[in-house]
A and B are shown apart, each in its own frame.
Chain A
């Protein structure tokens, strides 16, 4: 089956293609929406070239190199916390996953799997309850935000010393990127930021670039990356066993349980933006 062409909404997005720390003089190859790209660094910064050798637009933001195959309307969604001087901003790793990027985002938004998949870290039996929370569209419908998500976590972060009820906020400001905020064990008034930036390499595969902006003045970068990769490594087999590999948008394919409220909103939002890439559109 020939690879599908991206729909206009997807085509005109910025996408991450590498962590900045992985961009060197020696060119590296990657794929975006089925198109092979080459990226490297020269005297003036990062460069990306497309399949036909043309130079593509670049952004160097949030510890990643971003590019586009279309014409995005503006820049990237804001993450103001990223600029706060006392935070640690870390690209924790870029992992390839054999499933659509939208499946990756949906899993990222779901707290229900924590006790089963991240046992002893992000959840623990018998604490399986996802309490009532709130989901809404903000920024004139450009962004999904879920708030008041509470979950018991035995070891919420690298600096946790005991279990705690942790509060989460999730943002989906981009079809394949999500930013989550969770209570910081270091400072009760502030939130740690964990972003999953999805690079759709094809309709059924993506690279997940994990970027953290957290309060941790104790641990080395190595350990923070280790912790994040450990968690993502646990998600990987769950993701790769999902069938179908593209995200179904048909409302009848949705399971209306409370934990899935964000996911239902996400699927509708993709549908209303005309997304067909990486998903199975609802029958007309």
Chain B
């Protein structure tokens, strides 16, 4: 069975859990006490990922770090429809990849602010918040133009892709880092759409579309 080295409150781990759940793939969660235990910095986990970062996914002989890479692998392997990681159109494939890169920027900003405010990590929270607002503004404008063209998702096409899964967690958790989404209405509409994807699951800090339903 697939094993996910996981921490419950990590948005990067959650994105892997989210796609696995949507695709109905079973897996085992191996809890690594990232906080408060800082176990990701201990030899036992460094043997799994020398970078000391979560998540890590193991499937058979494959061991994969980096949440975006995990999304790509899971989609290619377990989504026979090919919708979640579309490769047919070079234009669309390029745009999906662009948003996977964008998600790294969200980890460096919105996630860093959240770790600083919530878990006392020694990051520059103000700088992280400024950086996140720049990204959110770009994303909000993009989603607004997408909507004008009848498009619901980050990359063109009728269905959501790994790009949406990759960007969703740290956008949705931004308020824990003191980053309000009040001024990003297109982002708010997009997060509501993500929550209505069949198979959607929550993590602490993120509520289902209908409160009390999960």
Contacts and interface: CB of A to CB of B under 8 A. Distances in A.
A65 interface: no
Contacts of B9: 229-230, 233
A229 B212 CA distance: 19
Interface stretch (A92-100, A144-152, A189-197, A254-262): A92-100
Contacts of A92: 36
Contacts of B213: 119, 125
B115 to A, nearest CB: 10
B204 A230 contact: yes
A69 B118 CA distance: 24
Contact of A116 (B39, B119, B212): B212
Contact of A119 (B31, B36, B178, B214): B214
Nearest to A91: B36
A233 B205 contact: yes
A19 B36 contact: yes
A230 to B, nearest CB: 5
Nearest to A98: B178
Contacts of B175: 98, 237, 240-241
Contacts of B73: none
Contacts of A134: none
Contacts of A115: 212
B31 A222 contact: yes
Given A222-B33, A223-B31, A96 B120 contact: yes
Interface residues of A, number: 33
A223 B39 CA distance: 13
A93 B205 contact: no
A96 B113 CA distance: 11
A267 interface: no
Contact of A236 (B35, B37, B176, B211): B176
In terms of DSSP, what is the predominant structure of the interface of chain A?
Answer: helix
Contacts of A125: 212-213
Interface in A71-111: 91-98
Interface string B156-179: 000000000000000000011010
Contacts of A136: none
Given A233-B8, A233-B205, A22 B212 contact: no
Interface residues of B, number: 24
B58 interface: no
A230 B204 CA distance: 6
B35 A229 contact: yes
B31 A226 contact: yes
B79 interface: no
B204 A226 contact: no
Nearest to B121: A96
B58 to A, nearest CB: 19
B211 A234 contact: no
B162 to A, nearest CB: 24
B204 A236 contact: yes
A236 B120 CA distance: 15
B147 interface: no
A246 interface: no
Contact of A237 (B8, B33, B35, B205): B205
B204 A119 contact: no
Given A119-B214, A237-B175, A94 B120 contact: yes
Contact of A226 (B33, B203, B211, B214): B33
Contacts of A225: 33, 36-37
A91 B203 CA distance: 22
A27 to B, nearest CB: 12
Residue from A96, A230, A236 with most neighbouring chain B CB atoms (10 Å) = A96
Closest 3 CB pairs of A and B: A233-B204, A222-B33, A93-B36
Interface of B: 8-9, 31, 33, 35-37, 39, 117-120, 175-176, 178, 203-207, 211-214
Interface of A: 19, 21-22, 30, 91-98, 115-117, 119-120, 125, 207, 222-223, 225-226, 229-234, 236-237, 240-241
26 contacts: A19-B36, A93-B36, A94-B120, A96-B118, A98-B117, A98-B175, A115-B212, A117-B207, A117-B211, A119-B214, A125-B212, A125-B213, A222-B39, A223-B31, A231-B204, A232-B204, A233-B8, A233-B203, A233-B205, A236-B176, A236-B205, A237-B175, A237-B206, A237-B207, A240-B175, A241-B175
Given A22-B36, A226-B33, 18 more contacts: A19-B36, A21-B36, A30-B120, A93-B36, A98-B176, A115-B212, A119-B212, A207-B120, A222-B33, A225-B36, A226-B8, A226-B31, A229-B8, A229-B35, A229-B204, A230-B204, A232-B204, A233-B205
